[in-house]
Amino acid sequence: AGGGEQRDGAPPAPEGAAGRPGDSAATGNPTDNVDGIRSLMQLRASTRVDLGPWQVRPRVEIARTRESTGTFIDGVGTPVAGITTAMNQAAAGLSVSRDFNTSGGVLSLSGALDGIWTNTTSGPDAAYEDGRARIAFGLNYVTDSAGTFSASVFSDGIAQDGYEGRGLALAYNLRF
């Protein structure tokens, strides 16, 4: 026999199903009710060192994210084991920039190099995903009258098989 009263024409949920008796999704299937805990911790330290016209910014970052769910009974009465997943990441890098005064404004050029180390845990298994490097270059040109043009490019996953990310961003902000 079903485990709850029927509401709005939905079929009753099975005995022991999580959630309120009779809850169903738009598809007519019983819903699940799962308790979970998510956490995110980040720490970043950086500074700026002026070396003549150059600005050097060393930095370190650490991050940890974790999600866990307890054991539960799904909407159709099947027991589902709890699981914990976590990701730890550490990065150290250096960015360098320099400003150039031009007849029409200020041109800023920048570059950065980061080393990134990651490990992931899912259940009892942990995987170290090798270190990788990320490199980025950018420019920002602020004109005296018209606005600002910005461009940046990056490549991530250097020296790591199976991981790569690349990007390009262009922007123009018109001053009026």
pLDDT digits (tens, 9 = 90+) for 131-157: 999 999 999 999 988 899 999 999 999
Burial annotation 45-74 (CB, 10 A radius, 16+ → b, else e) = eeeeeeeeeebeeebebeeeeeeebeebbb
The pLDDT value given to residue 26: 59
d(CA 163, CA 118) in angstroms, rounded, equals: 12
Q: Which residue has the higher pLDDT, 120 or 151?
A: 151
Name the average pLDDT for the chain.
Answer: 84
Q: Residue 36: its pLDDT value, please? A: 86
Note the pLDDT tens digit of each residue in 68-100.
988 888 777 888 888 889 999 999 999 999 999
Q: What is the pLDDT of residues 8-34, one digit of tens each?
A: 444 444 444 444 444 555 566 667 777
| Predicted pLDDT of residue 10 | 43
pLDDT average, residue stretch 36-59: 96
- Per the model's pLDDT, the better-predicted residue between 175 and 171 turns out to be 171
pLDDT number for residue 66: 93
